[in-house]
């Protein structure tokens, strides 16, 4: 997983990138939790997601938002971080012009940023949103949600109440032609301590199923 440096809106951004050598491999961008809470691209949940996708044939990029690690700039309350994510997806797409699909995956604060990016980039065909902080941030911009996806949450999360995430998932699932699944990980806290294997299993099964369905649609057309 070579280290990369690419240009962002406020200077260089630091990342780790895995390039799948299979022709037209799909791509995924992974977004880390809150920078002011110690979130980095090396967060265990983000790293687990990274491995889950690369094991399934994706080219994958995880990176540090501005002001984290070797990334330049200062925390910008989400607006600048969204611009960073847009620069990151531009970078990964420029190196995978013929990718057979584009996904976004984020954890906590990164899930909030990822869902905003989803609204701005119609090429994103699927998302994974882990412990989205629906009690702390406004997700009403998802009107409507433009792509199918999976929301995963721990039932022992003491930072984001189950009811807040369930309400978000229910609202998104009610939209026509969009399927948003909601999975609970028993015994998992906000950081999925000792439950990363369960998280990986749930996410992996969803990605496998979604990719199979996408391939069948392509073949039928």
Tens-digit pLDDT profile for residues 69-114: 999 999 999 999 999 999 999 999 999 999 999 999 999 999 999 9
Which residue range is the domain that position 181 belongs to? 3-220
Q: How many domains does the chain have?
A: 1
Residues written for the chain:
221
Mean pLDDT of 186-215: 95
How would DSSP label each residue in the chain? --EEEEEETTEEEEEEEE---STT--EEEEE-S-GGGT--TT-HHHHHHHHHHHTTT-EEEEEPPTTSTT--S---TTHHHHHHHHHHHHHHHHT-TT-S-EEEEEETHHHHHHHHHHHH-TT--EEEEES--TTTS--TT-TT--SEEEEEEETT-SSS-HHHHHHHHHHHHTSTT--EEEEEETT--TT-TT-HHHHHHHHHHHHHHHHHHHHHHHHH-
What's CA 4's distance to the chain center, in Å? 19
Domain holding 87: CATH number?
3.40.50.1820
**pTM attached to this predicted model:** 0.96
pLDDT higher than 80, residue 219: no
Q: What is the pLDDT of residue 41?
A: 98
Furthest-apart CA pair in the chain: how many Å? 48
pLDDT of residue 2: 84
Tell me which residue has tokens 């028993």: 186
pLDDT at 221 over 70: no
Residue 137 above 70 pLDDT?
Answer: yes
- Position 64 pLDDT exceeds 80: yes
Q: Residue 201: its pLDDT value, please? A: 98
């Amino acid at each position: 997983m070579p280290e990369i440096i690419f240009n962002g809106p406020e200077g260089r951004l630091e990342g780790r990138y895995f390039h799948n050598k299979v022709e037209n491999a799909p791509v995924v961008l992974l977004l880390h939790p809150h920078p002011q809470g110690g979130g980095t691209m090396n967060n265990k949940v983000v790293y687990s997601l990274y491995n889950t996708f690369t094991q399934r044939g994706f080219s994958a990029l995880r990176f540090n938002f501005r002001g984290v690690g070797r990334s330049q700039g200062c925390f910008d309350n989400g607006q600048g971080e969204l611009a960073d994510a847009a620069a990151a997806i531009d970078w990964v797409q420029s190196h995978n012009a013929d990718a057979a699909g584009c996904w976004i995956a984020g954890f906590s604060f990164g899930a909030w940023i990822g869902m905003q990016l989803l609204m701005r980039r119609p090429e994103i065909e699927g998302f994974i949103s882990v412990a989205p902080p629906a009690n702390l941030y406004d997700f009403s911009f998802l009107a409507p949600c433009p792509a199918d996806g999976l929301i995963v949450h721990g039932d022992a999360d003491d930072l984001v109440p189950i009811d807040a995430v369930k309400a978000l998932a229910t609202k998104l699932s009610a939209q026509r032609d969009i399927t948003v699944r909601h999975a609970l990980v028993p015994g998992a806290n906000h950081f999925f301590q000792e439950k990363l294997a369960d998280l990986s299993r749930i996410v992996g099964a969803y990605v496998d199923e979604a990719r199979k369905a996408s391939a069948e649609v392509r073949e039928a057309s």
